[in-house]
């Protein structure tokens, strides 16, 4: 019997690459969350394609209550911030952008639910796309958060489960390199906050994606509106 894993798969570049790292070693059940975000339809569509391509079981979990308590620009009428290339290296501007798209307790909730799935099927690992570059403004992407949650699982779960974040020490361009090396279907991934059919090209997530492919020297097949 092959080893089992749960992947928290949003369909974004980071989670697609992280999951692909373990695709040959584990029988993966991917879970995708709909918490009322503007990009929910696109994220569900691309994760379904990726899971079909890679042979993963796929479950979509709706969290309407999270949408109701959140005033994030991701799942409200508030406009999503646009940033320039220069802004990506301005910590204060990135903190302001991150504050706008912050969803209360999102990774705490997602990882807790992933733990329930892992315990129920006897999975050894939970795969997440947390990374170094985004940890500077999103504390629930940091190595400290990863280590703390693994301590929590050691104490609170009767099973031997570990959260794996292969991009935890990587910047975005290094994630693209890793994705290229492991054959991740990065061309199918969807990183945009806007939820349009094509990437908007101007939100912070799109801008970081565009820069990463350029810095990595790898052809970007993503279609951007701008």
Annotated binding site: 9-19, 192, 200, 203, 206
Closest Cα to residue 59, out of 27, 24, 25, 33?
33
Q: How far apart are CA 51 and CA 118, in angstroms?
A: 18
Please give the annotated binding residues for Zn(2+), written as ranges. 192, 200, 203, 206
- The structure tokens listed for 115 are 């733990």
Residue 192 and residue 199 in contact, taking contact as beta carbons nearer than 8 Å: yes
- The structure tokens listed for 199 are 């990437």
Closest Cα to residue 50, out of 190, 164, 201?
190
Q: Which residue has the tokens 């079909």?
A: 52
**Do β-strands 57-62 and 125-127 pair in parallel, antiparallel, or remain unpaired?**
unpaired
Residue 63's CB: how many other CB atoms inside 10 A?
18
Beta strands in 178-226 (DSSP E): none
Please give the annotated binding residues for ATP, written as ranges. 9-19
């Amino acid at each position: 019997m092959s080893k089992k894993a749960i992947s928290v798969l949003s369909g974004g570049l980071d989670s697609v690459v992280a999951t692909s790292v373990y695709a040959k070693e584990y029988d993966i059940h991917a879970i995708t969350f709909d918490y009322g975000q503007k990009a929910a339809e696109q994220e569900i569509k691309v994760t379904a394609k990726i899971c079909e391509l890679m042979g993963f079981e796929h479950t979509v979990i709706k969290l309407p209550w999270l949408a109701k308590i959140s005033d994030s620009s991701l799942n409200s009428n508030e406009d999503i911030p646009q940033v320039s290339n220069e802004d990506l290296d301005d910590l204060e501007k990135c903190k302001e952008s991150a504050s706008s798209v912050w969803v209360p307790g999102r990774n705490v909730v997602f990882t807790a639910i992933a733990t329930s799935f892992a315990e129920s099927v006897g999975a050894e690992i939970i795969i997440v796309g947390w990374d170094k570059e985004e940890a500077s403004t999103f504390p629930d992407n940091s190595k400290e958060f990863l280590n703390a949650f693994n301590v929590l699982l050691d104490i609170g779960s009767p099973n031997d489960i570990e959260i794996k974040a292969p991009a935890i020490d990587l910047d975005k361009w290094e994630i693209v390199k890793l994705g290229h090396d492991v054959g991740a279907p990065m061309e199918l991934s969807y990183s945009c906050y806007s939820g349009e059919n094509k990437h908007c090209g101007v939100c912070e997530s799109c801008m970081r994606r565009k820069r990463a492919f350029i810095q990595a020297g790898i052809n970007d097949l993503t279609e951007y509106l701008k």
